[in-house]
A and B are shown apart, each in its own frame.
Chain A
Amino acid sequence: MKTLVLCLALGGVALAQQWEVGGGGGGAFHKNATVKNASRSGDAGFKIGPAFSAFATQNMYEHLSGELRYTFQLSDMKVSSGGAEATFDGQSHAIHYDLLIHAKGRSSAIRPYVIAGGGGKYYRGTGKESAVAPPNADLAILTKTSQFQPLIVFGGGVRVRVAEDVYFRIEARDYLSPIPKDIIAPVPGASMSRWVHAFTPMVSLSFGF
């Protein structure tokens, strides 16, 4: 029911504003959390992985747009310390609404912009569980489960018109979320810093209508 209401609202606005839809791909580079116990510390988070995104943009004003975006990141999880690394298959699904503040007006062929937004990120550990202790099991354990976390997005980019109603974008976002501690779980006696950043540069193509 909530979804239906949102669609209707967007549909209503669309009558008066220009829209873009598009998709793109890139990579996710993470600034991971620090995990430590009484005797040592390590890195806990995600490895570099590909990212894919789809979005719908509403050009609301001359210098302001709103964008609903879905981003899929295929990043394995890891806990590394002292040359040993535990890894585990993982992925995340982010859905967020961003505001894009453009430096130039709608009619410009090249429109730099900055991004700020928020949403949620659904993390999933998808690896194979084993009773055997993985490396760095005294710091954190990577787990086959899922967890939803709030998401803050910052970034910037530039949109280039490459043809009538066709745009090419280069942009970078920082997906900032609390680290999913059900999935990357510090063991009793260990503690972990709170946030994980996923810097995600992407290129995309969008179509206006």
Chain B
Amino acid sequence: MRLVCLRRASTHEMRSRLLRWTAAACIAYAFLIAGPAVAATFGTVVPLGGHTSDLALDERRGVVYVAHFTAKRIDVVSTVTRKSQAPITVDKQPASLALSPDGRYLVVTHLMAAEPGNNSVTVLDLDANTRQTYPFTSVPLGVAFTADGKAFIITTAQFIQFDPSTGTSAVLGDVAATVTLPPQPAPCEPRQFIRASLSASGDGTRVWGIADADGEGCEANESFVLFHYTPGAQVPLAASSWTASPPEGPRVIATDRTGAFATTGWSLFHHRFFEVAEWINSSGLFEIGGYAIDSARNKIYGQVAKKALMGTTIPGSINSADGPRLLVADSDNLTVREELKLQEHISGRAVIDSRGDVMYAVSQSGLMILPVGSLAAHHRLTASQEDILFRGNWCDRRSMTQEIEISNPGGGETPFRLSTTMPGVVLSATSGVTPARITVSIDSSVYRNTNGTAEGFINVNSDAAINVLPPIRVLVNNKEPDQRGTLFSVPGRLIDLQMDPVRNRFYVTRQDKNEVLVFDSSNFRQVATLRTATTPTNMAITRDNRYLIVGADNAQVANLYDLETLGFVRWIVFPAGHYPRSIAASNGSILAVSRLAGEVEDCSTAVIDRIDAANGFATPLSAMGVWKNCVDPNTALASSPAGGKILGAQPDGTVLLYDAQLDDFVAARRDLEKLQGAFGALSDEEFVIGGYIFNASLVPTQAFSGGMSETSGVISSRWLAMRTTGATAAGAGHVEHASTTDGATWSAARLAEAPILPDANVVGRTFTRTLAFTRDNSAYVLLSRSGLTVLPPDYDAEVGLPALERVVNAADFKPAVAPGGLITVFGQNMNPVNVGAQGTPLPTLLGDSCLTIDGQLVPLVFVSPGQINGQLPFGSSGTPSAVLHTPNGVSNALKFTVQGTAPSVFTVPVEGWADEVPSIVRAANNETVTLSNPVHFDDWLSIYVTGLGAVSPVVATGAAAPADPLAVANTRPEVTLGGIRLPVDYAGLAPGSVGVYQINVKVPFNDVPTGMQIPLTIKQGAYETTVSVRVVR
């Protein structure tokens, strides 16, 4: 419903808005007659020739009723033909309407009520084709039906339950008695509602509403009232008053299936009236936007006017900067997953049909029909990666290539264009049709002198696609041998890093996707994702190491997660207007710095809240010791390792100290004019902020030497402090040891790329916590430009040349290896840290190492200081030489023998068994054969091996084996069990894997020896291998 133009107290404003709508319509019309739009858009617009204000979907009759305000009629649009049918004329301007659950009554409220007596509601009996108009004592502003068949109507003065079958009304409450209207600047005295929007839940149990209050002398303001009505509840009417900046626009509301949540303006509210998420970058324009919630799919389809539109002369102009967009967002935290181009702006209520297939929305021209359930049928684009990270290859520095796949999520053929302005980047094609694999090549000579990682973008555009694809980030790192650290690509805006004190994990907040990324600290692979509230900032782990608390800058809640299960436990609800940014857990309290949305007791910036994690709420401290509880919103909190203290750092140089034993603040001082960058409480007595060391009273006692102005991370590592610093002329950044006694620094090493540095424009990055030491003391992890940089503990140690000792197959570690098989190279001083490959094709540079065999690059699976696994190229034969290239130099050339075929059975660990078992899987239960899951007569078995040699059709080295056609081994193996030959159904590469072969055999119905250790032998060519399995009948 859009009522803003018809404020009873301001007919001038109404005329002004009508003029603007008319102008917008004229521009849109002129644009349309000038020629067809070039770019595809989503949905269909049904122009209705005027201003529409509300709609209702009648699925039984297959029509949408649209309140045509200016034409005094209800337009009826077929959902099948999408054309207008005979309209229903009404006596007065229809402002809002609602259809009863049984589809019989269409209730229309009329708003043109400047004169007494015009306040009325019309009931259209759609079954009997009759109508009846009922006068109201105050202006009806909105209507919605509940499941009991009664209409809930809000007027300027009352909440009313209205029975459309009898025309009787029951007053549920007076506005003045039910709602505390928001305070207004004098001389305004809000007295009544002037506009409202209602939305009934899908099950009809609750009606949500948003309303504006007004009175004599009031100007347009940022206040509103949020309420909901739940028939049969102990307190049926509940309301809450708010102010918002920017204003909560659009002034339309939508709720979900049960009424538990509602979104309006740029917020998502819980039914207990706390804000759980926000639409980002909303301008708050009232006239643009609308939402529909698909509870079955946990999606919200909506539009909010972006900030760029604030200055637009004609809101919603088709020529506006970024055009109208339908956002497809997650329903819990409003993470936008897709942006769809619209023909024009949504401008009021939107509804979605019961199957979630089609969304209908009031739009600038009348009605917009959006088939959201059949997005797959439209041209869309998606890219296989958000980021492409190129790293200097020690084996071949001339050029680097990677592939990206541009596809249509629905599987269709969508034309697209690619462009980039990044120097040295060459695309194999600048246009194509999905699905397409594009090779991105980098001329590394362009980046030879790059001190770290260069960044650029590949833009993906399509006139045919209805969605907008964000550019693909290209990162090029061409580090020198003395630059330390192994890079791991982690896309997104990474903010905070927390190491789990008791688990081999660490946590990183990814702000742009509202996530906490959970990494395994033994291999740096992401193992889980936690969904957060909007714009996550800092994290804290409770002192019992059981829970993780994550603050958010655009939600009035913090999220609590159980680290044992990695499950969401509950919201911690903050007082209205408090946005928790930085959190620290001590032995006393858990404190949070909360940005304030308004002024609270003379503070308009931020306060310290105390968190009650067990009960899920936070309350502001009455005072910070002897100081007033009012801090900078960018204040960062950090607890000491023992939990005795919490350090607070403010950008203006103020530092704060909380004592857990006293449960209060004991120090606050300002000795420096500015602070930013790395911060940490290294102990209860030593603190570091930026380049300064503070003592137990927070007196700055030393500045770190070295003259490096920007700092990123600091930790207490064993007996020393470690810190990372930003770029200088000498490099992308440094990692170094530091003394908190005298500020001396030493063992500085250049980093492979710059760590994340302070950025006042990014929430949570004024002070940075980007460095951590893994729980098992195996590596340092730091947040850096392309994601993570990992350093060994002895990053500064002199490392000898890599030395190769032996080459074996990766299945049973025997010397027999064959082309295309997986091999293991054992040696010393190999890759500094453990790194595993992710995805296919396998990289030829993994971590900091690359391996060649007779000059041919080896696709790598895993690298570590003592072992490297990779795929022996299919073309290998004879006695080739293996050579390893690392930052420390080039290894010896190790000769080994390649056989034509060398089948070797992989072994795998199985829970509960001390020894690994042969990787043989029974098809009967899809589990590995063990003593407790023995081979039975008549079983089908899949044996996983390596070394079956060449295959047909040929598969590229490093590429995943295809599923269709299967890559069959050229030499068929023989398999016997207890001496009985087993029919081989298939022998070839296992689809989807690299270097892993699969042999499928059938065990006969009888005549196979039984026992605990029956030999299973695979013979292929001149080589055979035997493992033992248990066989029973």
Given known A133-B912, A134-B912, A188-B1013, contact A145–B928 (CB-CB < 8 A): no
For B994-1033 the 0/1 string (1 means CB < 8 A from A) is 0000000000000000101100000000000000001011
- Smallest Cβ distance from A206 to chain B, in angstroms? 36
Interface-side segment among A22-30, A103-111, A124-132, A168-176? A124-132
Closest residue on chain B to residue A142 by CB atoms:
B932
Flag if B913 contacts A133 (CB, 8 Å). yes
Q: Which of A131, A133, A188 has the most CB of B within 10 A?
A: A131
Residue A141 CB within 8 A of the other chain: yes
Which of B910, B929, B932, B1013 is the one whose CB lies under 8 Å from A141? B932
Closest residue on chain B to residue A146 by CB atoms:
B1033
Residue B933 CB within 8 A of the other chain: yes
Residue A89 CB within 8 A of the other chain: no
Residue B930 CB within 8 A of the other chain: yes
Q: Which residues of A contact B769 (CB under 8 A)?
A: none
Instruction: Tell me the B888-938 residues at the A interface (CB within 8 Å).
Output: 910-913, 917, 925, 927-934, 936
Flag if A130 contacts B1012 (CB, 8 Å). no
User: A53 vs B239: C-alpha distance in the bound complex, in angstroms?
Assistant: 73
For A125-153 the 0/1 string (1 means CB < 8 A from B) is 00001111110010001111110000000
Given known A137-B912, A143-B1032, A145-B1033, contact A129–B1012 (CB-CB < 8 A): no
Flag if A131 contacts B1032 (CB, 8 Å). no
Given known A132-B912, A133-B910, contact A141–B925 (CB-CB < 8 A): no
User: A57 vs B1012: C-alpha distance in the bound complex, in angstroms?
Assistant: 42
Residue A185 CB within 8 A of the other chain: yes
Flag if A188 contacts B1012 (CB, 8 Å). yes
Q: Which residues of A contact B927 (CB under 8 A)?
A: 129-131
User: A11 vs B928: C-alpha distance in the bound complex, in angstroms?
Assistant: 53
Q: Which residues of A contact B913 (CB under 8 A)?
A: 133, 137
Flag if A131 contacts B1033 (CB, 8 Å). no
Given known A131-B910, A132-B912, A133-B910, contact A182–B1033 (CB-CB < 8 A): yes
- Smallest Cβ distance from A98 to chain B, in angstroms? 29
Flag if B929 contacts A131 (CB, 8 Å). yes
Flag if A145 contacts B933 (CB, 8 Å). no
Q: Which residues of B contact A142 (CB under 8 A)?
A: 932
User: A141 vs B1013: C-alpha distance in the bound complex, in angstroms?
Assistant: 13
Closest residue on chain B to residue A88 by CB atoms:
B932
Q: Which residues of B contact A129 (CB under 8 A)?
A: 925, 927, 932-934
- Smallest Cβ distance from A140 to chain B, in angstroms? 10
For A170-204 the 0/1 string (1 means CB < 8 A from B) is 00000000000010010110000000000000000
Q: Which residues of A contact B1012 (CB under 8 A)?
A: 185, 187-188
Q: Which of A129, A134, A141, A187 has the most CB of B within 10 A?
A: A129
Q: Which residues of A contact B917 (CB under 8 A)?
A: 131
Closest residue on chain A to residue B1033 by CB atoms:
A145
- Smallest Cβ distance from B540 to chain A, in angstroms? 37
Q: Which residues of A contact B933 (CB under 8 A)?
A: 129-131
Flag if A143 contacts B911 (CB, 8 Å). no
Q: Which of B932, B1012, B1013 has the most CB of A within 10 A?
A: B932
Flag if A131 contacts B930 (CB, 8 Å). yes
Flag if B1010 contacts A187 (CB, 8 Å). no
User: How many A residues face the partner with a CB closer than 8 A?
Assistant: 17
- Smallest Cβ distance from A85 to chain B, in angstroms? 15
Which of A132, A134, A137, A145 is the one whose CB lies under 8 Å from B1032? A145
User: A130 vs B910: C-alpha distance in the bound complex, in angstroms?
Assistant: 10
User: A144 vs B939: C-alpha distance in the bound complex, in angstroms?
Assistant: 13
Flag if B931 contacts A187 (CB, 8 Å). yes
Given known A145-B936, A182-B1010, A185-B1012, contact A133–B930 (CB-CB < 8 A): yes
Q: Which residues of A contact B910 (CB under 8 A)?
A: 131-133
Closest residue on chain A to residue B924 by CB atoms:
A129
User: A129 vs B1030: C-alpha distance in the bound complex, in angstroms?
Assistant: 13
- Smallest Cβ distance from A42 to chain B, in angstroms? 16
User: A143 vs B1013: C-alpha distance in the bound complex, in angstroms?
Assistant: 15
Closest residue on chain B to residue A135 by CB atoms:
B912
Flag if B936 contacts A131 (CB, 8 Å). no
User: A182 vs B1033: C-alpha distance in the bound complex, in angstroms?
Assistant: 9
Closest residue on chain A to residue B1012 by CB atoms:
A188
Q: Which residues of B contact A133 (CB under 8 A)?
A: 910-913, 930-932
Instruction: Tell me the B932-975 residues at the A interface (CB within 8 Å).
Output: 932-934, 936
Flag if A131 contacts B1010 (CB, 8 Å). no
User: A130 vs B912: C-alpha distance in the bound complex, in angstroms?
Assistant: 11
Q: Which of A134, A143, A146 has the most CB of B within 10 A?
A: A143
Given known A132-B912, A187-B1012, A188-B1013, contact A141–B931 (CB-CB < 8 A): yes
Flag if B1033 contacts A134 (CB, 8 Å). no
- Smallest Cβ distance from A71 to chain B, in angstroms? 23
Q: Which residues of B contact A144 (CB under 8 A)?
A: 936, 1032
Flag if A182 contacts B912 (CB, 8 Å). no
Flag if B932 contacts A132 (CB, 8 Å). yes
Flag if B931 contacts A137 (CB, 8 Å). yes
Closest residue on chain A to residue B934 by CB atoms:
A143
- Smallest Cβ distance from A19 to chain B, in angstroms? 38
Flag if A131 contacts B928 (CB, 8 Å). yes
- Smallest Cβ distance from B637 to chain A, in angstroms? 45
Q: Which residues of B contact A187 (CB under 8 A)?
A: 931, 1012
User: A143 vs B1033: C-alpha distance in the bound complex, in angstroms?
Assistant: 10
Closest residue on chain A to residue B931 by CB atoms:
A141
- Smallest Cβ distance from A141 to chain B, in angstroms? 5
Which of B929, B931, B1032 is the one whose CB lies under 8 Å from A182? B1032
User: A146 vs B1010: C-alpha distance in the bound complex, in angstroms?
Assistant: 12
Q: Which residues of B contact A143 (CB under 8 A)?
A: 932, 934, 1032
- Smallest Cβ distance from A134 to chain B, in angstroms? 6
Q: Which residues of A contact B929 (CB under 8 A)?
A: 131
Closest residue on chain A to residue B930 by CB atoms:
A131
Q: Which residues of B contact A141 (CB under 8 A)?
A: 931-932, 1030
Q: Which residues of B contact A146 (CB under 8 A)?
A: 1033
- Smallest Cβ distance from A147 to chain B, in angstroms? 8
Which of A132, A182, A185, A188 is the one whose CB lies under 8 Å from B911? A132
User: A137 vs B933: C-alpha distance in the bound complex, in angstroms?
Assistant: 12
Closest residue on chain A to residue B913 by CB atoms:
A133
User: A187 vs B917: C-alpha distance in the bound complex, in angstroms?
Assistant: 15
- Smallest Cβ distance from B833 to chain A, in angstroms? 32
User: A57 vs B394: C-alpha distance in the bound complex, in angstroms?
Assistant: 89
Closest residue on chain A to residue B910 by CB atoms:
A131
Closest residue on chain B to residue A132 by CB atoms:
B911
User: A142 vs B930: C-alpha distance in the bound complex, in angstroms?
Assistant: 12
Q: Which residues of A contact B936 (CB under 8 A)?
A: 144-145
User: A131 vs B918: C-alpha distance in the bound complex, in angstroms?
Assistant: 12
Q: Which residues of A contact B911 (CB under 8 A)?
A: 131-133
User: A134 vs B932: C-alpha distance in the bound complex, in angstroms?
Assistant: 7
Complex A-B: 23 CB contacts under 8 Å: A129-B925, A129-B934, A130-B932, A130-B933, A131-B910, A131-B917, A131-B927, A132-B911, A132-B932, A133-B911, A133-B931, A133-B932, A134-B932, A137-B912, A137-B931, A141-B931, A143-B934, A143-B1032, A144-B1032, A145-B936, A182-B1033, A185-B931, A185-B1012
The 3 closest A-B pairs by CB, nearest first: A133-B912, A131-B927, A145-B1032
**Which A residues fall within an 8 A CB radius of B?**
129-134, 137, 141-146, 182, 185, 187-188
Beyond contacts A130-B933, A132-B932: 17 other A-B pairs, Cβ-Cβ < 8 A, are A129-B927, A129-B932, A130-B927, A131-B917, A131-B928, A131-B932, A132-B911, A133-B910, A133-B913, A141-B931, A142-B932, A145-B936, A145-B1032, A145-B1033, A182-B1033, A185-B931, A185-B1012
**Which B residues fall within an 8 A CB radius of A?**
910-913, 917, 925, 927-934, 936, 1010, 1012-1013, 1030, 1032-1033
